[in-house]
Amino acid sequence: EVEETLKRIQSHKGVIGTMVVNAEGIPIRTTLDNSTTVQYAGLLHQLTMKAKSTVRDIDPQNDLTFLRIRSKKHEIMVAPDKEYLLIVIQNPCE
């Protein structure tokens, strides 16, 4: 089902790339090339950690469920989990 899920996500309109990163920042599964993946993995992992700790600091009972970074060119969406991160880069239709 993992395959299915990932395939489904990738087939959505505007999705440029998908990747799964583990807690240490190692990319497990990716549809982009290696260097881009490594870059995204490293940077987004740190950012997600920071965002999570920020949310937790403000309210200890709160937790980060989703992180969306909208930039000029596309949108990066990060769904964090205890051990893994699902990262999707999409080009929203505007």
Partner 1 sequence: MEIVYVYVKKRSEFGKQCNFSDRQAELNIDITPNPELAALYMERNPVDKGVQCSASMSEHEANTERFEMENCGVNHIEGGWPKDVNPLELEQTIRFRKKVEKDENYINAITQLGLIMEHCIKQNNAIDIYQEYFDEEESVEVTEEAPSAKTINVFRDPQDIKRTATHLSWHPDGNKKLAVAYSCLKFQQAPMGMSHESYIWDLENPNRPEITLKPSSPLVTLEYNPKDSHVLLGGCYNGQIACWDIRKGSLVAELSTIEFSHRDPVYGTIWLQSKTGTECFSASTDGQVMWWDIRKMSEPMEVVVMDITRKEQLANALGAISLEFESTLPTKFMVGTEQGIVISCNRKAKTSAEKIVCTYSGHHGPIYALQRNPFYPKNFLTVGDWTARIWSEDSRESSIMWTKYHMAYLTDGAWSPVRPAVFFTTKMDGTLDIWDLVFKQCDPALSLKVCDDALFCLRVQDNGCLIACGSQLGTTTLLEVSSGLSTLQKNEKNIASSIFERETRREKILEVKHREMRLKEKGKTEGREDDQKEDELALNLDDLVSKAEEEFYEVIYSELKRKEAEAMKKTAKPVRTVVGEDLSLPPEESSWTPYYWPPPPHHSTCTLNMH
> Which residues lie near partner 1 (CB under 8 A)?
1-2, 5-6, 8-9, 12-15, 20, 22, 24-26, 28-29, 38-39, 42, 65-66, 68, 70, 75, 77, 79, 81-84, 86, 88, 90, 92-94
Closest distance between partner 1 and the C-beta of residue 64, in Å? 12
Rounded to an integer, what distance in angstroms lies between the CA atom of residue 79 and that of residue 27?
A: 14
Q: Rounded to the nearest whole angstrom, what is the least distance from the CB of residue 88 to partner 1 in the complex?
A: 6
Q: Please identify, using beta-carbon distances, which residue of 12 and 56 lies nearer to partner 1.
A: 12
Q: How far is Cα 33 from Cα 40, in angstroms, rounded to an integer?
A: 11
Concatenated DSSP letters of 40-91? HHHHHHHHHHHHHHHHHHH-TT-----EEEE-SS-EEEEEE-SSEEEEEEE-
In angstroms, what is the minimal distance from the CB of 32 to partner 1?
Answer: 15
